[in-house]
Every structure is written in structure tokens, then in C-alpha cells.
Chain A
Amino acid sequence: MVIDLDKCSGCEACVVACQAENNVPIIGPEESAKGRTIHWIELIPYIEGEYPHIKARLLPRPCMHCDHPPCAKVCPVYATYINEEGLVAQINHRCIGCRYCTTACPYTVKYFNWYAPEWPKEMKGSLNRDVSIRTKGVVEKCTFCHHRLLRAREKARAEGRNLLPEDYIPACVQACPSGAMYFGDLNDPFSTVSILSRERRAFRLMEELGTEPKVYYLSEGM
């Protein structure tokens, strides 16, 4: 995934799309104030410098899907691991809720269900049937809308053709109105994401940690 920060307007459409797509529970204002919200993608305010030379930047942060994920190493039950697609998967129905991965992840992309997830009655009808609902006491995080990949693959198979790059994109990328987010195969040297990831503006978060994130950011003057 590539996110062009120079194009991002900070509208949070990706966040809203993700909440709806992945059945992320609604946390009330009271619990939110305590830090109990769940966001598979979140807008992180980066504030650099000191007054008056201050520079603020908003940075959409999904799961980095690291090549060397610190979270997968510490999980005692293989509830989070790198799957064959190279995504960092999360099995919510195996997770024992020890929250070791949440403390080990340097990007804090993992969220815990402090209570049983809840939705207002009116919203229950619009839950996504492709994404399982979590229980209280388990960890969840961005999967790059893995269920969409499964769907796309089934569809391609039914139509008797190979999976095409445009068959599968996560909800956040689809919803981005300013076209700041790109999704594709980083291993394909001719894909848009691969070309963008080698651009001069490209960087990754905390590269010095050696986690090899698969999310690239583009920004002038970083």
C-alpha cells in the first residue's frame, strides 16, 4: 500500500469506510475518552518542531503488515502470523486476549475489545456479512480487507480467469476521495505501488526498527 500524504486532505473517509466495512464496533464518547476506541485505520497527528516553527501533519495509519512483524513473534497461540499472501493475519477466534502483541507492536495498530462490541439497533442490519464479529476480550486489527481478496479470488475462479490487480482493493483505498491511497502488488516491479514505493518522496514509518513495513508514504520534504 502507498499513501500519498501530499494528496491526503485528512477527510477521514478511509476511517469511516473501514469502520463500516470491517464491523468495527462503535465506542461511546465516555469510553473513547478513556482510550478504548477501535480504529483499524487511524489518522495520526504528527506535530513537528516547536512553536512558532510548528508543522502539523496527518498520517493515515493502517496496519503496516510488516515483513518482520514484532507482534507475530510474541503471540503464544499463532493467532497473529504472516499468511501465505504476506499479510499479517489475525485470528480473532483463537486469540486468548493476553495483549502481548498490542504491547509489542511499535506502531500500536492493534486494538483490544475491552467490552463486548455493540452497535445501535438501526445499524445492525448493515453489518458486513463477510467479516466476523469479534467477542469481548480479543485483539483485532487491520487485515487489508482480506475478506475482499477471498471474494475476488472466488469470483475470478468462477469466471475462469486469473486474479487481476484491480479485482481486490481494501475499503479505505476505494473510499479515498482525493486518490491519495494506492494498493497493489509490491513484488510486481511494474505495478503502480511498486513504482511509487521507489519514488524519491517515498519513506516508511520507523524503518530503523527493521520491521520492513509494507505501507509506504509519499511526502515532499520529509
Chain B
Amino acid sequence: MDEKHLNLEEDAALFEPIRRTEKYFYLVLSLLVAVILWATFAYLYQYRHGLGVTGLARPVFWGVYITNFVFFIGISHAGTLISAILRLAKAEWRRSITRSAEVITVLVLFFGVGNILMDLGRPDRMLNIIQYSQFQSPLLWDVLSITIYLTASSIYLYLPLIPDIALLRDGGEKWKWFYRILALGWKGTEKQHHLLEKGIAFMAILVIPVAVSVHTVVSFVFAMTIQPMWHSAIFGPYFVAGAIFSGIAALIVAMNVIRKVYHLEDYLRPVHFNNLGILLLVMTLLWFYFTFTEYLTTYYGGEPIHMTIFWSKFTGGFALPFWGMFLFCFVIPLPILSFKRTRTPLGTLIASVSIVIGMWLERFVIVVPTLTNPRLPNELVTYSPTWVEWSILAGCLSFFILLYMIFTKVFPIVSIWEVREGREKSMAEVQERIKTYLPGIGIE
């Protein structure tokens, strides 16, 4: 069995990114590094002078950073949750996409947390949240659940990586010592496989409630206050649905890029994009349902304090981001995803890019308008983010892409052993499974 698994000719395309690095990889890399350096400069500038260099003011105390925080934590639902659900549902088509999804989760979480830290007036005091923790504060619930989520999804990413790391240790050329340490002495014995599968199954189950809790708690940061259009019971599920929505979109974008750049057309086939596209279509409709419910309840209730915010989104100062959100989250993706003919890799890519942009706008439209209209009369303050905030957003995106690219160069971005297992075992397994559903066929 070992010998067969060592076969590097089979699935050579999956080893290729690790073996060989093309010139344009370095070109993109240096471009990203330049953006990151610029963002670092922007942050240091802010650190030195204070948050006054942003567009924030009283009463708009939160802006792009908090939007980014909610957005990135939302994207993180791409991976772990989707991969866990597909694994548990025994969806055979998951095999070549789970890894690329899980990586998104783990990497993007750092940027969610990072944006909160960059939003702090005194980041040097951030350890106060441990020394003086006040557990009534939803922010601490966030700290807790994101920490658990990061740990759990890192383990969940690592476990299925082990057999692939062992492949690289035995057959690869570079960094053997590195893979040897990470492979934890994997030999591919029956017993090890059994243990690994148990571990993966356990983590897949564990990670689902944790993922749901993470975005629920993020929404609680807003919903627990008594501010108009934040204080809403629907926020928990609304945020979770939005998170999965933007997560799947981010996954489709990533898969499209990997597929083209590393020539993995045989592994990431149109059927994968079609299936994910259907999932995304469901989430599009769910997103619309939640948004509709949220705004209709506000409108029908008609409380003046809520209505001021409501109209500021519909016709007032936030009309552009609000209708932009509606366009990108619903109007553009819905027709593309509705038809099989357009649910191609390219079609889903267009829909996904649109959704990712739309969901950033959605987070913005949730966070900012509420703050512009406090209960006590206040001078009108319009919030327009400054170059510092935009630079840091660009830096976060670039840094995320950079880390993702580096990951693909160190580890196989498509799970090799799972694909092989699929070829060797699951045909028979699925046949067996189908037999158990069918009436008229005896169960031995």
C-alpha cells in the first residue's frame, strides 16, 4: 500500500506547484509585498499620530476597520464550515475542494482579529482583556469564540494534511526535515488511517457549532447594544447566513485562480463549480430573505429613531453603498446562478466576485449608518474613510493572498490522499451505500 501511495507520477499536477515555481509567481509576490509594506507604513503612521488620521469622529466611532473585521470573520466561514458539512454529508465531490476551503478559514481569521487590534486606540494595552476580563462584554465573547475557532480550524486543516505531508517527506526533494517533523511519523498503516479518520470526523462535528457561534457572537457585538437597527434578534442568523454566503463566494474565487494558475482543470471540474454554485444560489436567496425580513420589520414598525437610519440607507447618505450592496449581493449573482448554462467556472467566478464586494458593502451598511444618528441631537458628521483606512484594507487583502500563495507552494492545495482514496475506495462504497437506500434490494 505504501509503495502505491508513493507514486509521484500519479497526480503529478498536484505536486507541480511545490516542485516548480514560475517567474510570474515572484512578480505577483513582490507586488503584494509592496502593497503590504505600504499598508504597514499607513498603520505605523496611525500608531504614531493616533486614530485621528482615519475618517472616524464622534459619533461615528467605528468604520472601515470594524467593517473589515466582520467581513473577514465572515469569509472565514468558507472553509471549515463548508468542508465540514460536505465531509459529514459524504458528498464525494468535496475531495478536491476541501483543502483550499480550509486554508481560507485559518488564514483569513488573522485578518479579522488584526483589524480589531488596528482599531484599538491603545493596542499596547490589549492584554488588559486577559488581566481585567469583563465577561459581560460581547467583545470578550468574541475573543473567546474566535480563539476556539482558530484553534479548531487549524487542527481541522492540519489533520487531513498529515498523509500529504508524509508523501512530500518520502518523495519530495526539498525541506525533507520540515516535512518529517510535520508528518508526525505517518506511515499510512491501517491503524493510523483509522485514527486519522476518527479525528477528522470528530473535528468536523466540533467545528460546526463553533463556526456558527463565531459569527453569532460577532453579530452580538452590535445586537446587544440598544442602538437603532443594531438591536435586532435576527442579527445572529443573519450574520451567519451572510458569512457562509461570502465564504462560498470567496472559495469559488480561490478555486478559479488555483485551477487556472496551476492547471488543475482535471481536479476542479465544472461540476464542482456547478454544485457550489447551487449552494451559493441557496445562500443568495437566504440572504435576500433575511435582509427583506430585517428591513420590513423596521419599516412596518415605523419607530422614528429606526426610520431615520432606514431612510438614510434607502434614500439618504448611505443610498450608494446600500443599493450597491443589493446590486452586488442579489441582482448580479441571482440570474447567473439560476441557470445551469451560466453556472460555469467563469459564471460562478463573476457572481462570486460580485458577492464578495457586495458583502463588504453589507457589513459597512450595517456598521456605519446606525452611528451617524445618535438619539441625542448631534452635529452632522459624514464619515469618509481616509487613505490610511483604504491602505490597510488593501494591505490585509494582499497579505491574505500572499499567505495563500505561499501555502500552495509548501503544501498541496488539493488533498492528494483524499483524491486517491476517492478513486480507490469510494466507487464501491457509494454503490454499497446506494443499495441500502433502494427498496427491493436485500440487505445482507
Q: Is A158 an interface residue (CB 8 A)?
A: no
Q: Is B62 an interface residue (CB 8 A)?
A: yes
Q: What separation, in Å, do the CA atoms of A76 and B117 have in the docked complex?
A: 14
Q: Which of B58, B125, B132, B221 has the most CB of A within 10 A?
A: B58
User: Interface readout for A102-137 with B: 1 if CB under 8 Å, 0 if not?
Assistant: 111011100111111000000000000000000111
Q: Which of A2-46 contact B (CB under 8 A)?
A: 31, 34-37, 44-46
User: Interface readout for B103-122 with A: 1 if CB under 8 Å, 0 if not?
Assistant: 00000000000001001111
Q: Which of B45-84 contact A (CB under 8 A)?
A: 49-52, 56-62
Interchain CB contact under 8 A, A70 and B225? yes
Q: Is B134 an interface residue (CB 8 A)?
A: yes
Q: Say which size band chain B's interface belongs to.
A: 35 or more
Interchain CB contact under 8 A, A97 and B122? yes
Interchain CB contact under 8 A, B61 and A103? yes
Interchain CB contact under 8 A, A206 and B121? no
Interchain CB contact under 8 A, A35 and B58? yes
Interchain CB contact under 8 A, B376 and A135? no
Q: Which of B123-152 contact A (CB under 8 A)?
A: 123, 125-126, 128-129, 131-134, 136-140, 143
Q: Is B21 an interface residue (CB 8 A)?
A: no
Interchain CB contact under 8 A, A96 and B122? yes
Known: A74-B138, A100-B139, A108-B59. A44 touches B122 (CB 8 A): no
**Which residues of A are in contact with B by a Cβ distance under 8 Å?**
31, 34-37, 44-47, 61, 70, 73-79, 81, 94-100, 102-104, 106-108, 111-116, 135-139, 205-206, 209
Residue of A nearest to B49 (CB): A115
Contacts of A206 in B (CB 8 A): 375
Q: Is B371 an interface residue (CB 8 A)?
A: yes
Q: Which of B49, B50, B119 has the most CB of A within 10 A?
A: B50
Q: Which 3 A-B pairs have the closest CB atoms?
A: A97-B121, A137-B121, A114-B52
Known: A35-B379, A77-B129, A103-B62. A116 touches B227 (CB 8 A): no
Q: Is B279 an interface residue (CB 8 A)?
A: no
CB distance from A8 to the nearest CB of B (A): 16
Contacts of B136 in A (CB 8 A): 73-74
Q: Is B224 an interface residue (CB 8 A)?
A: yes
Interchain CB contact under 8 A, A99 and B122? no
4 more contacts with CB within 8 A, not counting A76-B139, A108-B374, are: A35-B381, A37-B58, A94-B128, A96-B123
- Residue in contact with B132 in the complex, picked from A74, A77, A116, A138, CB distance below 8 Å: A77
Q: Is B441 an interface residue (CB 8 A)?
A: no
Q: Is B438 an interface residue (CB 8 A)?
A: no
Q: What separation, in Å, do the CA atoms of A173 and B383 have in the docked complex?
A: 35
CB distance from A75 to the nearest CB of B (A): 6
Interchain CB contact under 8 A, A35 and B59? yes
Q: Is B226 an interface residue (CB 8 A)?
A: yes
Interchain CB contact under 8 A, B375 and A106? yes
Q: Is B378 an interface residue (CB 8 A)?
A: yes
CB distance from B208 to the nearest CB of A (A): 27
CB distance from B14 to the nearest CB of A (A): 44
Interchain CB contact under 8 A, A114 and B51? yes
Contacts of A77 in B (CB 8 A): 125, 128-129, 131-134
Interchain CB contact under 8 A, A137 and B120? yes
Contacts of B121 in A (CB 8 A): 95-99, 112-113, 136-139
Interchain CB contact under 8 A, B61 and A112? yes
